[in-house]
Amino acid sequence: MTDDLFLQSRFFRWCTEHAPLKYDEEQALRREALSVLVESINAGEIISLDGIDTPLSKKIKAHHQLANFEMNSNWIGSSQDWMCPCCSRSKFQIARVGKKRQILAKLVVHHDHMGGALEAVFHAAFEKAGTSVEQVEGLRLVERMGSAFAAYEEVLICEDCNNADTEAKKLVESPLFFSFSPGQIKRFIRCGDHQPHQVDATMAQQIWQEAKPAYELRMKLIRAVGHAAATDAHWYEPYPRRTSAIPVFGYGDSVIYRSSDRTIQQWVSGEALYRALGPGKAASARNLSRWRTTVPKPGKALPDNFLAMLRSEEARARTWNSVSENWRCPICRRSKQETTYVGEKNKISFYLQTNRGFGKWVNASTICNHCGSTLMSLKLEVSELLGCTPTDSYGFVSPEELAKVIIPSAHSPHSILPAEAEALVSLVVQRLAQS
């Protein structure tokens, strides 16, 4: 209803009449914006982001007498004056030399797994109950309550602190869904500059024993709530949530508390930014041809009440309703039901990707996500081979060409014909090199 009203609004008409800037002009401006931004960051004018040539990184390189960084996107996306809330070390103190004589510069988002435990219980209980009525509020309840069962909020910490958590969990043999909070990690680590933490096993054991009763209680509650949410007996009470513990570019509602991000995002995508500021391919030797050789696991059969489970999530219900009953993916020819699959934590998943339907894509403006990810893998591989990314994510290949390398099967990602796919990679590289 609200959507219909929006589509009739003067504002929406204005938007359709004022198509975005000409594509080429926009791309050229975006490239210019990115290079000006990188210059400003490297000159030290902007410190809310980081990269391999910032003043901080120059200081780190000089300290270690090394030039190679292994740097991840959380490091690049966070401020140069950030400090780990767990070990209280600055980025300079955290950066250390890795096994391959590279400088490790990595930050991770540490989170509690209780939300995951609740979702797993919910999906299992839903399937078992065989309820054929969608439990929209039940699922929303579960998604919103996940964090309520958490012992702490998601938080950005250094990789050494995160590794110490993993090591301590192994030492004390704690259960799957348990993790130590930043405050608890702080108590069992012995830390120094430019080196991994030592874990005090006795202290870790003591802290786990202290935490255990609360963990067990939470798991008991989670089982009860997950079960109630899946079977009609739930209640629903929304509560506002603010993520402010992860001050990383583009993360969640980062624009609210990192005001410069909004201006940056108008012109520069996160992907382009991380590529421009990061160490590029040297640090992470990704195997970009793996998509052609990996055989996907066979898909699980859908439970009888899969549609009710799917429709319980509003976004998935909208996607399901956005195409007609007899829709088939124009590339792999699978029906809606065949495209649906059992995802992580037994979540029923149905995703589509849309494009503007230009040129060869005129009859394929809506495709399934498995075809979409095949296309993305192809694009990544040819980008790597060419050393640049095609400006148009679709135009470099036709839906028919893509269809020829795919062996579709129901409820699972596509298998790929290796020889055909290799030939397609060469063809596209040739095509783009000539254009």
331 near Zn ion, rule: CB under 5 A: yes
Nearest of 298, 291, 286 to residue 373 by alpha carbon: 291
**CA–CA distance, 5 with 2 (Å, rounded to integer):** 5
- Rg (alpha carbons) of the chain, rounded to whole number: 24
Binding part of the chain for Zn ion, among 111-119, 208-216, 276-284, 370-378 by CB under 5 A, reads 370-378
Least distance (Å) between residue 246 CB and Zn ion: 14
Least distance (Å) between residue 45 CB and Zn ion: 28
**CA–CA distance, 158 with 109 (Å, rounded to integer):** 8
**CA–CA distance, 435 with 429 (Å, rounded to integer):** 10
* Cα torsion angle, 211, 216, 164, 151, sign: negative
> How many residues contact Zn ion, by CB under 5 A?
10
State which of residues 46, 103, 108, 368 lies at the interface with Zn ion (CB under 5 A): 368
Least distance (Å) between residue 94 CB and Zn ion: 7
Binding part of the chain for Zn ion, among 56-64, 105-113, 212-220, 325-333 by CB under 5 A, reads 325-333
37 near Zn ion, rule: CB under 5 A: no
**CA–CA distance, 156 with 147 (Å, rounded to integer):** 16
Binding part of the chain for Zn ion, among 138-146, 154-162, 169-177, 419-427 by CB under 5 A, reads 154-162
**CA–CA distance, 64 with 102 (Å, rounded to integer):** 10
207 near Zn ion, rule: CB under 5 A: no
Where does 44-113 have alpha helices with state H? 55-64, 73-77, 91-94
State which of residues 37, 84, 375, 421 lies at the interface with Zn ion (CB under 5 A): 84
Query: CA 183 → CA 87, 95, 246, distances in Å?
Result: 9, 22, 16
State which of residues 52, 117, 329, 416 lies at the interface with Zn ion (CB under 5 A): 329
| Contact (CB, 8 A) for 273 and 49 | yes
State which of residues 125, 161, 307, 432 lies at the interface with Zn ion (CB under 5 A): 161
371 near Zn ion, rule: CB under 5 A: yes
Site string for Zn ion, 85-114 (x = CB under 5 A): -xx---------------------------
CA 404-410-412 angle, 5° bins: 85
Least distance (Å) between residue 13 CB and Zn ion: 33
Binding part of the chain for Zn ion, among 97-105, 255-263, 310-318, 324-332 by CB under 5 A, reads 324-332
**CA–CA distance, 172 with 170 (Å, rounded to integer):** 6
| Contact (CB, 8 A) for 413 and 406 | no
Binding part of the chain for Zn ion, among 55-63, 156-164, 231-239, 393-401 by CB under 5 A, reads 156-164
For Zn ion, the closer of residues 163 and 383 by Cβ is: 163
364 near Zn ion, rule: CB under 5 A: no
For Zn ion, the closer of residues 38 and 94 by Cβ is: 94
Residues contacting residue 93 through CB under 8 Å, at least 6 positions apart: 193, 194
Binding-site ranges for Zn ion (CB under 5 A) = 84, 86-87, 158, 161, 329, 331-332, 368, 371
